[in-house]
Amino acid sequence: MPYFITKTERDDLFVEGFLAGAPPDRYTQKGQYWGLPIFDWEHKYEENLAYLLKRLHRAFSLFDVVRLDHFCGLAAVWAIPAKYKSGKKGDWLKVPGERILTKIRQKFPDKILIAEDLGIITPEVTELRKKFGLLGTKVMVFGARKVKKDEVLYSSTHDTMGMGKIREFRDVRELGERSGAKIFIIPMWDILGLGKGFRFNRPGRKGGNWQWRIDKIEK
């Protein structure tokens, strides 16, 4: 959740000399360099926890369900030395995820949390998710059709091309309804049957992302 604190605001909260990203995976062979600060849980646990709980409180005041992106970051963060600008070079920095999620569940015992557990997922991450009752993530565009009761199925995600031009929306909806997923999520670009030209985000690319909007829908 570092997106809403800049390094200049509270420099003391972050690990010095490292920035966050992701190693090479199925999304990009180059990995991802985000340039985001990494919370220093070892030395600033209480301050960082208070901030995280505040962010979640705000999110749940707006939405019924909240997704924790890059859920593996609650087990370990891909820490890239500040001198590099690529996700290829880095190392995993341990995060006290069990302590953090214990506090989250104490504060929000009945709230629905989705774990974006995509990419490089270790048994430790899966165990952490299940222990605290978070829903896992599966994606139809990657071939997922049947999922478990503790998983959410997406037709596609912000990081992928949509199902448009592959299947009609009606077929996508029927597949989702038969999947067994606790929750089935269809992004608007799949509802409208749009192709890759309407892609929302390209991992690892700096510009042109997160700009997709619907201005008006004609009846």
151 is catalytic: no
SS3 at position 7? coil
**Tokens 């949390």 belong to which residue?**
113
117 is catalytic: no
Q: 25, 40, 69, 98: which one is catalytic? A: 69
Residue 214 neighbours by CB distance under 10 Å: 8
Assigned token pair, 215? 């201005």
Contact present, 74 and 128 (Cβ < 8 Å)? yes
SS3 at position 154? strand
Q: 117, 151, 159, 190: which one is catalytic? A: 159
SS3 at position 50? helix
What is the C-alpha end-to-end distance of the chain, expressed in Å? 38
Q: 116, 117, 151, 190: which one is catalytic? A: 116
CA distance 126 to 117: 8
150 is catalytic: no
SS3 at position 8? coil
Give 168's contacts (C-beta < 8 A, 6+ positions apart): 193
DSSP secondary structure of 61-102: HH-SEEEETTGGGGTEEEEEETT--STTS-EEEE--HHHHHH
Catalytic residue list: 69, 116, 159
